[in-house]
A and B are shown apart, each in its own frame.
Chain A
Amino acid sequence: MKKKPWFLSIAAVLGFTFLYAPIVSLIVFSFNESKLVTVWSGFSTKWYGKLLEDPQILGAAWISLKIAFVSASLALVFGTLAALVLTRFGRFFGKNLLGGMVTAPLVMPEVITGLSLLLLFVAMESAFGWPAGRGLLTIIIAHTTFCMAYVAIVVQSRLVDMDESLEEAALDLGAKPARVFFDVTLPVIAPALISGWLLSFTLSLDDLVIASFVSGPGASTLPMVIFSKVRLGVSPDINALATIIIVIVALGVAIASTQMKPARDS
């Protein structure tokens, strides 16, 4: 029972190679001298320099970061509320509806979500004059909506795993429900909240399709700029950008996993 068949190990090794080879190739060729992305002609960091001088990319990156920060924070609040309601509030009118609305955005094709939100915004604008035009605000609303679904799922699974008698014990010792939430529930689900926020942040940073639908003039996010460049073919400064993102993510994960360890052990 203990030993694993050899082909399993081979399949796992191949699978991980498949997952990481493209990423490694992105990084390697970001340091390529030549403009031809796939032919090695010497080490160079010039594409990083070029990237940092590109105002279009820098501007889009700043817009994307702002959107991601606000959307992730809003999604964290709404998603946590949704998770709490679904796991701790017993039965109430519309529970199934809420449960469905929380899971559906996870699988909904992005073109549908994007199109439907755009049409909503247009209809709302012509009906109440709000939101006036499209841009940051509409992208934030759209991202908050689909990110809160992810937060809700992550937090929900944590709440389900959590021993409910902890909360009951606090109630029994005289804490009111709101107190219980802040004193007992919140600390226990904190890791889920952090990963929910981070997940939302990256999903928002990453989104091309929905943002393309609901964005307006002057609000081009980073993925929109990258997409328009990439459509024209490969270019080494995109590799450089990818490398920077990968390094930031890897660092973030490394920090998160070392910071989270003691909390998990205790």
Chain B
Amino acid sequence: MGVDRIETKQTIATGAKPWVDQAEAPFIRISNLTKNFGDFIAVDNVSLDIYRQELFCLLGGSGCGKSTLLRMLAGFETPSSGRIEIDGQDMASIPAYERPTNMMFQSYALFPHMSVEKNVAYGLVRDGVAKAEIAERVAEMLTLVQLDGFAKRKPGQLSGGQRQRVALARSLIKRPKLLLLDEPLGALDKKLREETQFELVNIQESLGVTFIVVTHDQEEAMTLSSRIGVMDRGEIVQVGEPHAIYEYPQSRFVADFIGSVNIFEGRVTEDAENFVRLHSQEGGCDIHVAHGVSCTENQKMWLAVRPEKFSLSKEQPAGKYNFVTGTVDEIAYLGNLSVYRILLASGKNVRATRSNRDRHDAEAAPGWGDTVYLAWDDTAGVVLTQ
């Protein structure tokens, strides 16, 4: 394996979180970065710190500016304003071909007239590395991505998954300080994508290279990343670890974009130090939240509840603060779980999932048209003020 050649600094150990440590200096520092194309603002005043050996995902829908941000890091786009620093060095005057970054393109951008070997060697040849060393490093890299024996093939003779690995090998061979990956798994089918996700994480961990991955696939982002930056309309709306993004979204956009969510609108009826009580017209209920929120009486707020946080039953739950009632409108059986669409009296649809833990619970499971109760803990929901 070629791993030992690359100076393996200590990888981000499980639990080590440089972004929490105030003393840690960020490896990549993006400050007030803006890019506009004419009137269109693609990236809007983004500031972001990324640390050594992170696998950072930029997540967002199409046109949210994530690719433009990546291209500015690579040096293909010139920022309209703002600053990019990599390892303490300002990138403004450094052309793409001199940056300590490499990129893996969404299209892979493999040179069709060169063999796999030539493609992978290209970066080293440009740097004038000695022939023997090139051969050795190419061989190592091909082993790392499990492509020994394909060295002489042309890209046109490879499968999609193989091409993806050639692209990865080619972008890693120069041992970049930072690897930029634009939808690295986007062109693969679902099954291959899931396998490759873990491979990618393994390679990243063993080489200790900092990765920035652009993706629109939230599942991919959750699986891969140490942290996620969610982007919307050119801005980064939230940065955090996957579970934080999922469990503590800071806005309705993030809550809605990552996974599925039910949002109840309500007004504060009781504002105490360690709990709040909302009244929700939509839910037709009072909601108890077991922590304090800085708010004022009668303020409009939203409570976001993930579908799996509900417990679904045909009988009225006892001893719970929060529940709504409605009728089953639609059931989708997915095997591992069933997704219910419940119609509330207010006309609002609520999504709830019920895991199929018991093979023989057809009797207990609510059916179409049943009146059901959806209950959730007073800590299960997230209060959103924006």
Contacts and interface: CB of A to CB of B under 8 A. Distances in A.
Direct A–B contact present (CB less than 8 angstroms): yes
Contacts of B96: 1
A2 B76 CA distance: 9
Interface residues of B, number: 3
Interface string B69-98: 000000010100000000000000000100
B159 to A, nearest CB: 27
Nearest to A1: B76
Contacts of A2: 78
A2 B35 CA distance: 15
B74 to A, nearest CB: 11
Nearest to B95: A1
A264 to B, nearest CB: 23
Contacts of B78: 2
B302 to A, nearest CB: 44
B373 to A, nearest CB: 50
Nearest to A2: B78
A10 B1 CA distance: 51
Interface residues of A, number: 2
Contacts of B76: 1
Nearest to B71: A1
Interface string A1-23: 11000000000000000000000
A2 B96 CA distance: 12
A1 B72 CA distance: 12
A5 to B, nearest CB: 14
A1 B96 CA distance: 9
A2 B71 CA distance: 13
B346 to A, nearest CB: 44
A1 B71 CA distance: 12
Interface string A84-112: 00000000000000000000000000000
A1 B78 CA distance: 10
Interface in A144-173: none
A250 B381 CA distance: 71
Interface in B38-78: 76, 78
B103 to A, nearest CB: 13
A135 to B, nearest CB: 53
A1 to B, nearest CB: 6
Interface in A73-92: none
A1 B76 CA distance: 7
B255 to A, nearest CB: 38
B306 to A, nearest CB: 41
Interface in B324-362: none
B363 to A, nearest CB: 48
A1 B74 CA distance: 12
Contacts of A1: 76, 96
Interface in B167-197: none
B105 to A, nearest CB: 14
A5 B285 CA distance: 69
Nearest to B96: A1
A2 to B, nearest CB: 8
B35 to A, nearest CB: 13
Nearest to B78: A2
Nearest to B75: A1
A1 B107 CA distance: 18
Interface in B280-335: none
Interface string B92-117: 00001000000000000000000000
A239 B76 CA distance: 51
A198 B76 CA distance: 43
A237 B340 CA distance: 88
B153 to A, nearest CB: 29
Interface in A8-50: none
A214 B96 CA distance: 62
Interface string B11-43: 000000000000000000000000000000000
Nearest to B76: A1
A50 B171 CA distance: 72
A2 B78 CA distance: 10
A6 to B, nearest CB: 17
A92 B96 CA distance: 52
A61 B4 CA distance: 82
A15 B167 CA distance: 39
A182 to B, nearest CB: 39
A1 B75 CA distance: 9
A219 to B, nearest CB: 52
A1 B77 CA distance: 8
A73 B201 CA distance: 65
A78 to B, nearest CB: 37
B104 to A, nearest CB: 18
B79 to A, nearest CB: 13
A2 B75 CA distance: 11
B168 to A, nearest CB: 23
B110 to A, nearest CB: 19
A151 B78 CA distance: 45
A122 B39 CA distance: 70
A174 to B, nearest CB: 36
B270 to A, nearest CB: 59
A194 B12 CA distance: 66
A12 B78 CA distance: 26
B73 to A, nearest CB: 15
B111 to A, nearest CB: 17
B15 to A, nearest CB: 42
B152 to A, nearest CB: 31
Interface string A114-150: 0000000000000000000000000000000000000
The 3 closest A-B pairs by CB, nearest first: A1-B76, A1-B96, A2-B78
3 contacts: A1-B76, A1-B96, A2-B78
